[in-house]
Amino acid sequence: MNPLFYVNVFAKDMVALADYYQRLFDLEEITASRSDYFIGFESGRCCIGFSSQAAYELLSLTQAESQTDTVLTTFGASSREAVDAQSKVAVELGGTLVKAPFETYYGWYQSILRDPEGNPFRINHAA
């Protein structure tokens, strides 16, 4: 069993942010889990979900005063060309390219982006 089960992203506009990632990565929604607080998607071994600001209270968490980069989500791509193509689509859908696709010192090919709410993420091809 893979120990990482879900990654949840708190969103100012849960529906819009979920739509951004769904369109970018063609994710399949887990419709049984949809609520006013949450939209989830299948994403291979680990699922990704988007939570509304109201979920802070539901989960007894204190809402952050400001956004900080505390989580970096990495999405896999099937090839270097797919990294290039998905990075372009990410920007067309409203994201921001932080670092154009490049080869890392550990042999991966990836781009660094921010989604429309400013959350950092990578699109990566592990060679």
- pLDDT at position 1: 47
**Gap between the Cα atoms of 88 and 100, Å rounded:** 10
Helix, strand counts (H, E) of the chain: 3, 8
The 10s digit of each residue's pLDDT in 65-121 is 666 666 778 899 999 999 999 999 999 999 999 999 999 988 999 999 999 998 889
Q: Which CATH architecture has domain 72-127?
A: Roll (3.10)
Q: Residue 63 in contact with residue 56, Cβ under 8 Å? A: yes
Structure tokens at 127: 């060679």
Domain with CATH 3.10.180.10 in the chain: 1-63, 72-127
Which residues, including other chains, have CB under 8 Å from residue 3's CB and lie 6 or more apart?
none
- Dmax of the chain from CA atoms? 43
CATH of domain 1-63: 3.10.180.10
What are the tens digits of pLDDT across the range 10-63?
Answer: 898 999 999 999 999 999 999 998 999 999 999 888 888 888 888 878 777 776
